[in-house]
Amino acid sequence: MVAAPSSPRRFLLASVLKPVDDTRMRGKFAQTLLAEPLTEVHIAGRGTAGDLPQSLAQDSSRLHHHRIFGGSRLSLNRLAAQGRYWRLLRGCGPTW
């Protein structure tokens, strides 16, 4: 029998091209991971035109959204998103 972890396991689901409220990342992957206790999920992606709907922002205290890129998919800002991704990766400290 495997003992339950004492600290939360963190997962980071990230994409520069997918929006932060993408249904596949949030609705399928994140919800599946959150079914396990002591699991924290961070979703990073392209910012959409407006803020996240309240229903997404308040869905779970263990689900966090991060905008790492905004604007056109073909902009130079997309290159800077790689640096923001690496900073987020180090800051979240996902566990494997």
15 Cβ partners below 8 Å, 6+ apart?
A: 22, 25, 44, 45, 46
Residue 88 lies in a domain: yes
Which pair of structure tokens corresponds to residue 31?
A: 């919800």
Instruction: Give me the mean pLDDT over the 66-74 stretch.
Output: 77
Q: Report yes or no on 80 lying in a domain.
A: yes
Assigned domain for 33 exists: yes
User: Residue 18: pLDDT band by 50, 70, 90 thresholds?
Assistant: confident
- The number of folded domains in the chain is 1
3-state SS assignment for residue 41? strand
Query: Which pLDDT score is estimated for 57?
Result: 55
96 falls in which pLDDT band (50, 70, 90)? low
pLDDT averaged over every residue in the chain: 78
Structural domain includes residue 1: no
Q: Which residue range(s) make up the domain with 83?
A: 9-46+61-92
Q: Is residue 51 part of a domain?
A: no
What is the arithmetic mean of pLDDT over 72-84? 78
Q: What is the pLDDT of residues 22-55, one digit of tens each?
A: 878 877 888 888 888 889 888 888 877 655 555 5
